[in-house]
Amino acid sequence: MEGLIEKILEYVEPDEEITPDSALKADCGLTSFDLVCITEDLSRERGMKADKVNIRACVTVKDLAVLFGIE
């Protein structure tokens, strides 16, 4: 999970600390384009392709972690 939060911090500098329950858009400030790029990065790093419909269903950092099997 820490690695995922570090990855998110390559994209945004939110005022509040990011936690697993932080909302990706509302709390972290990620845009749709940021999310596509993060999932592209994660897909390449982890050798898997995330389904784009599932990406849209990700609301929190935890949802994104579950999608990519990150603990």
Partner 1 sequence: MIEKELQNGQVVEAYPLTQAQSLMYWIFNTYGKNPAVLNIGTGQYWKDDFREDLLRQAIEEAVERCDTMRLRFSPDQQYGLVQYLADKAEIEIEDCDMSDISYEESYKIIKEWSKIPTDFIEKPLHVIKIMHLADGLNGLYVRFQHLAFDGYSSKMFISDVMAIYLHKKCGFPYPKPMRSYIEAVKGELAYLNSDREKEDTKYWMERYSKETEPIYNDYLLDNRLFKARKETGNPDLRYVEMFEGEHPESRTFYNELSAEQTNKIAEVCKKTGMTIPCVLMLGLRTALSAFNENQEDVSFKFMINRRSNLVAKTSGGIRMLFFTLRSIISPDTTFEQAAGILDDEEQEIFHHCDFHTLKMYHIKHTAMKMKSLSQTYDTLSFSYHSPVDTPAENDEIRATVKGEWYNNDYSCQNLYLTVKHRPSDNGLEFIFEYRIFEDSLEDLKVLYEKMIKAIEMGIDNPQITIGEILEEIKLDK
Which residues lie near partner 1 (CB under 8 A)? Answer: 10-13, 31-34, 36-38, 40, 52, 55-56
Min dist CB 21 to partner 1, Å, is: 19
Q: 55 or 65, CB closer to partner 1?
A: 55
Nearer to partner 1, 13 or 16 (CB): 13
**Contact yes or no for 25/60 (Cβ under 8 A):** no
What's the per-residue H, E or C state across 5-43?
HHHHHCCCCCCCCCCCCCECCCCCCCCHHHHHHHHHHHH
Q: How far is the CB of 22 from partner 1 (least distance, A)?
A: 17
